[in-house]
Structure 1
Amino acid sequence: MDHQTEWRLDAARNLAEKLKGKAGIRAILVGGSAARGYSDVYSDLELIAYWDRQPNKEEKRAIAGELGAVHRYPKIDHGHESALEIEGFPVDLWHKSVSEEEDILDRVFDEFSTDLGAHNVVDTVRTGIPLYGEELVRKWQERTEQYPDELARRFLDEYLPHFHLRQLHFAARRNNPAAFFNIMSNIQSSLFIVLLALNGSYFPTYKWMFKRLHELPVKPENLEWRLREMYRESPTEAAARMQEVLEETLQLVEAQYPDLDTEFARYGVDQPVPERFSDSPFE
């Protein structure tokens, strides 16, 4: 375990000791970068307290006071309530009810929802480290161990059509870097979701895209380097590299799901380089 992760986990254990005796708290989980082993010098600490009900504002305020915490952001910020600062260090303390968490798990595993917010919750549960109420958390984690095939298929059906390069080719040739990088970033994001589905991996948020890609076994060769290079090379070279990556990804999809309809995705990947029309073809 690296130093940045280790001391954050030590801090989480100390905070959990102060929280676990509170009436109504069923479990405490450390999530985020510390639980995933992704912490760097900019990482905060994410703690989730699971209650048998939704706590009221007075209870949350009392807990923050007992922890010696102050709010990092003003009330106009949507993260005001959960974003705390303890001893000058940023701590996100989330309060959730057990039923709320289990409803999200049901949406993903029973209804096969492709909502990315719900999948981030699942990934947090899967990678989280229980500091209290381990039996409850382990029960949830058992549900995450088997990634449903139907869920993978739904993600592939939804995100493979984003493998479309027509507008990327145009933006690469029109000296429009804002449009080019916007389109390219969106395609890379969809590629990430496709590869998560192929590997039976849940969504850690785009913030951790490259760290999670590094962990995935099924992906195009040297993928992380190739995706980063697209932001350094010329737009036309980047578009060509993107075409290669998407083609290789489609081959992986078709090998794993030979019955899946990839016709439109292949149409999008095989988009030709735009023709130039300097002079009128009309007489």
Structure 2
Amino acid sequence: MVHAEWRRTAVAPVLAAYAGTDGVDAVMLGGSTARGDADRWSDVEVGVFWSRRPTMTERLAPAPSVRPGTPEDSGSPWYDYLSLDGLAVDVEHALSSAVEETLDRVLGAGVPDPSGLGLLKGLVDGRELGGRRPDLIAGWQQRAATYPRELAVAIVERDGAIDKFWRWQLLAERDNPVLLAREFLRMTSQLLSVLHAVNGRYCGHPLAFKRLDAMETELIHAPPNLAARLRTVFTSPPPEAAEALRQLIEETYDVLETRLPEVDVPRLRARFHTSRQPIDPPRSR
């Protein structure tokens, strides 16, 4: 908690400067600093929501050391990177109207847009700290409080088909740990995307979490001992790692059958079970 409190104090003048700028509807503190679980490695995430397109001068004015990340003539959102005596502050500027359109697309139409899901995650975690429309972010958070079932189904349909599991053996036999790790990471990413959706948790990228144990506490409907078993996948020899991942995927499909029965889980399982056998040349007679 001490890391979060210090960061809030350090960034407060910057937030106040943005909040007092003409055209700013609201300013939000986000990420681990807003949640209170920042550590000594944490940067600070800030959202600035505008009623109009900001100029580069307006974007850079509140802090003495700013590196612009997005050209002025590009579309919303725009990103800038501040340094406050070594403390990194990532600022995302967005039009309030663009946020509304994103909420309509993701929450209203159930479109599993990664950037939109990331925005919703940021809003849920965020704390409104100023601006001329003090209830704006609270209204967005109220909309996000109900996770649409249609959105969960759409995400599961997109990421639930975890295929080519058999490749782990191919890569292990070829002694290629780099590509093997990539395959385990791909399947773990799909697994966590599905579990976040089933649990009604917004997630722009399923591997964006900071702490496995904290993530596990949020995913109530999930295989037991999820964090410890995921560590096994990435710390054990290939056969044991593959078996641990296989069991996690099968148990995740069990959760799906209970929580989202409208999903065609047998089809997902069938795709997961699809295999390819190695072929040796016939023995000479």
Residue pair 1:72, 1:90 contacting (<8 A) in 2 also: no
Counterpart mapping for 1:14-33 below 5 A:
14-33=13-32
Q: Give the counterpart letter for 1:28 in structure 2.
A: V
The runs of at least 4 aligned residues of structure 1 exceeding 6 Å deviation read 72-75
Q: CA deviation at 1:73?
A: 7.9
| Correspondence 1:229 to 2:228 | no
Q: CA deviation at 1:74?
A: 11
User: Which residue is equivalent to 1:41?
Assistant: 40
- In 2, the alpha carbon distance for the partners of 1:125 and 1:265 equals 32
Q: Give the counterpart letter for 1:98 in structure 2.
A: S
Of stretches 177-186 and 200-209 in structure 1, the one that deviates more from structure 2 is 200-209
- In 2, the alpha carbon distance for the partners of 1:163 and 1:276 equals 17
Q: Deviations over 1:119-171 (max 9, x none)?
A: 00011011100001431110100110111011111111111112541222322
User: Which residue is equivalent to 1:219?
Assistant: 222
Q: Deviations over 1:89-128 (max 9, x none)?
A: 2111222111111111111012211111110001101110
User: Which residue is equivalent to 2:203?
Assistant: 203
Counterpart mapping for 1:46-125 below 5 A:
46-61=45-60, 63-64=61-62, 67-71=63-67, 82-125=80-123
User: Which residue is equivalent to 2:186?
Assistant: 186
TM-aligned CA distance change 1:257 to 1:60, over 3 Å:
closer
Q: Give the counterpart letter for 2:65 in structure 1.
A: A
- In 2, the alpha carbon distance for the partners of 1:57 and 1:183 equals 42
Residue pair 1:243, 1:269 contacting (<8 A) in 2 also: no
Q: CA deviation at 1:204?
A: 5.2
TM-aligned CA distance change 1:268 to 1:236, over 3 Å:
farther
Q: Give the counterpart letter for 1:207 in structure 2.
A: A
Q: Give the counterpart letter for 1:69 in structure 2.
A: S
Q: CA deviation at 1:195?
A: 0.3
Q: CA deviation at 1:185?
A: 0.2
Residue pair 2:30, 2:125 contacting (<8 A) in 1 also: yes
- In 2, the alpha carbon distance for the partners of 1:50 and 1:222 equals 39
TM-aligned CA distance change 1:231 to 1:247, over 3 Å:
same
Residue pair 2:24, 2:50 contacting (<8 A) in 1 also: yes
- In 1, the alpha carbon distance for the partners of 2:70 and 2:255 equals 47
Of stretches 51-60 and 3-12 in structure 1, the one that deviates more from structure 2 is 3-12
- In 2, the alpha carbon distance for the partners of 1:255 and 1:85 equals 48
- In 1, the alpha carbon distance for the partners of 2:103 and 2:121 equals 10
Q: CA deviation at 1:225?
A: 1.1
TM-aligned CA distance change 1:194 to 1:81, over 3 Å:
closer
Q: Give the counterpart letter for 2:154 in structure 1.
A: R
- In 1, the alpha carbon distance for the partners of 2:278 and 2:5 equals 57
Q: CA deviation at 1:230?
A: 1.2
**TM-score, normalised with respect to structure 1:** 0.88
- In 2, the alpha carbon distance for the partners of 1:121 and 1:217 equals 22
TM-aligned CA distance change 1:247 to 1:17, over 3 Å:
same
Residue pair 1:46, 1:93 contacting (<8 A) in 2 also: yes
Q: CA deviation at 1:191?
A: 0.5
Q: Give the counterpart letter for 1:71 in structure 2.
A: R
User: Which residue is equivalent to 2:146?
Assistant: 146
Number of matched pairs:
276
User: Which residue is equivalent to 1:7?
Assistant: 6
Describe the SS at the equivalent of 1:161. coil
Q: Deviations over 1:212-265 (max 9, x none)?
A: 334211111111111111111111111111111111111000011223212232
- In 2, the alpha carbon distance for the partners of 1:166 and 1:28 equals 48
| Correspondence 1:127 to 2:125 | yes
TM-aligned CA distance change 1:20 to 1:271, over 3 Å:
same
Identity fraction in percent: 28
Q: Deviations over 1:179-227 (max 9, x none)?
A: 2111110000001100011000001532216343342111111111111
- In 2, the alpha carbon distance for the partners of 1:3 and 1:253 equals 39
Of stretches 87-96 and 190-199 in structure 1, the one that deviates more from structure 2 is 87-96
Q: Give the counterpart letter for 2:282 in structure 1.
A: S
Consecutive unaligned residues in structure 1, runs of 5 or more:
none
